[in-house]
């Protein structure tokens, strides 16, 4: 029998696809920045996302700050943690064997997970939003939408617009792109590539922290092991969009969110995670460089 989907169901698929896509865009953009500049594969990126959500959770609970404003605190705290992680850990193995980088990042996963278990236990937590029960009605499509969903989309758009301007229109952004393209040439031009590594890692983890806060506002998604699968999906997204491409991470994240939402609606919730690896395999077979990746000379 042909599959029939009502207009309201289709709209909901698109909405939740965009919402999930926003989380993936922030997470993948940070991971893409770190890999593009340092050429480091950080498997612990998902743990930084969850750690950022926990920081916002604490700030909103004990300081009484609006959870959306707590994002700025989380960005600052996790950005500093990212800088320290790059200085203390990844700086020591950068340029050595890739196996060293992989083992280091895998070790960080367990260190961060256990630290979060000690600080917040393994209980699932969610950040309470003051707009939790407020909905907006769209007359044209006759659907109610949580105000939080609109805010998440708006926050993501603002942050990614600022990130794009930083990378494309500022002096430090040009230095980051130069370091990403050719570290040796960047050094000869007077760019401090070690500072670029430190700044990029801190900024990348700050973006992950933003994703973690928005995720925790929408879902009871905070527990120490919650970052593992999103990190794998972020790797899929940057492969889909093209390694080192900011636009690729945005398009790839939104496309993956829509694909995931469609799979859940059509095939069932058990396919939610399987679709990530199916897309990854398909992209690697058809276009290994990704949608916006450049072919090697």
- The enclosing H or E element of 20 equals helix 7-38
Q: Which residue, chain included where needed, has tokens 């990212």?
A: 82
Residue 100 CB coordination number (10 Å): 14
Task: Summarize the confidence of residues 76-87 as an average pLDDT.
Answer: 96
Lowest mean pLDDT, pick from 2-16, 97-111, 237-251: 2-16
8 Å CB contact between 255 and 21: yes
Largest distance between two CA atoms of the chain:
66
The helix (run of H) or strand (run of E) holding residue 143 is: strand 143-146
d(CA 256, CA 207): 18
Instruction: Kindly give, in sequence order, each residue whose CB lies less than 8 Å from that of residue 7, ignoring residues fewer than 6 positions away.
Output: 141
- Round the average pLDDT of the chain to a whole number and report it: 89
The DSSP element (H or E) to which 247 belongs, if any, is helix 246-267
Calculated CA dihedral for residues 67, 70, 75, 76, nearest 10 degrees = -170
**Residue 8 reports pLDDT greater than 80:** no
Which of 222, 166, 156, 168 lies closest to 24 in space, CA to CA? Answer: 156
Residue range 129-165, pLDDT digits in tens: 999 889 888 777 778 888 999 999 999 999 999 999 9
CB atoms within 10 A of CB 86: 25
Query: How much is the pLDDT for 97?
Result: 80
The pLDDT of residue 43: 92
pLDDT for residue 297: 40
Per-residue pLDDT reduced to its tens digit, 238-273: 888 887 788 888 988 998 898 888 888 887 777 877
For residue 105, the SS3 value is: helix
SS3 293: coil
DSSP 270: G
Are the C-beta atoms of 163 and 79 separated by less than 8 Å?
no
pLDDT tens for 156-176 read 999 999 999 999 999 999 999
Q: Say how far apart CA 85 and CA 94 lie, in whole Å.
A: 12
Cβ-based burial of 125 (10 A; exposed 0-12, middle 13-18, buried ≥19): middle
Taking the C-alpha atoms of residue 230 and residue 236, their distance in angstroms, rounded to an integer, is: 10
User: With 60 as the cut, is the pLDDT of residue 212 above it?
Assistant: yes
| Unique residue bearing structure tokens 């990190």 | 231
Q: What pTM was computed for the model?
A: 0.92
Structure tokens at 141: 């499509």
Dist. CA 53–CA 120, nearest whole Å: 11
Radius of gyration of the chain (CA): 19
Residue 184 has pLDDT above 50, yes or no: yes
By CB atoms closer than 10 A (0-12, 13-18, 19+), residue 112 is buried
pLDDT in tens, 21-66: 999 999 999 999 999 899 888 899 999 999 999 999 999 998 989 9
pLDDT score at 210 = 96
The phi and psi torsions of 20 (rounded to 5 degrees) equal -60, -35
Q: Which DSSP state fits 87?
A: I
CA–CA distance, 29 with 43 (Å, rounded to integer) = 14
Using the predicted structure, report yes or no on whether residue 4 has a pLDDT greater than 70.
no
């Amino acid at each position: 029998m042909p599959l029939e989907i009502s207009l309201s169901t289709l709209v909901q698929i698109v909405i939740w696809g965009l919402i999930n896509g926003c989380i993936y865009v922030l997470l993948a953009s940070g991971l893409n920045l770190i890999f593009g500049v340092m050429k480091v594969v950080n498997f612990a990126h998902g743990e930084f996302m969850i750690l950022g959500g926990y920081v916002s959770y604490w700030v909103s609970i004990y300081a009484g700050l609006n959870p959306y404003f707590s994002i700025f605190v989380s960005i600052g705290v996790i950005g500093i943690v990212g800088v320290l992680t790059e200085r203390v850990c990844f700086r020591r193995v950068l340029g050595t064997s890739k196996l060293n980088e992989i083992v280091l990042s895998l070790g960080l996963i367990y260190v961060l997970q256990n630290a979060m278990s000690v600080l917040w236990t393994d209980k699932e937590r969610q950040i309470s939003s003051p707009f939790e029960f407020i909905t907006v009605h769209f007359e044209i499509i006759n659907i109610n939408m949580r105000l939080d969903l609109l805010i998440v989309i708006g926050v993501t758009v603002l942050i990614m617009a600022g990130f794009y301007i930083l990378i494309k229109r500022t002096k430090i952004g040009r230095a980051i792109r130069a370091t990403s393209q050719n570290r040796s040439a960047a050094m000869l031009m007077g760019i401090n590539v070690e500072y670029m590594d430190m700044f990029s890692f801190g900024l990348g983890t700050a973006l992950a922290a933003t994703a973690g806060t928005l995720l925790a506002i929408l879902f009871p998604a905070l527990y120490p092991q919650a970052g593992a699968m999103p990190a794998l999906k972020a790797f899929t997204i940057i492969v889909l969009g093209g390694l080192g491409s900011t636009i690729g991470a945005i398009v790839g994240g939104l496309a993956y969110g829509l694909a995931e939402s469609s799979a859940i609606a059509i095939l069932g919730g058990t396919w939610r995670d399987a679709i990530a690896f199916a897309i990854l395999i398909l992209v690697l077979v058809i276009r290994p460089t990704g949608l916006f990746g450049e072919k090697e000379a």
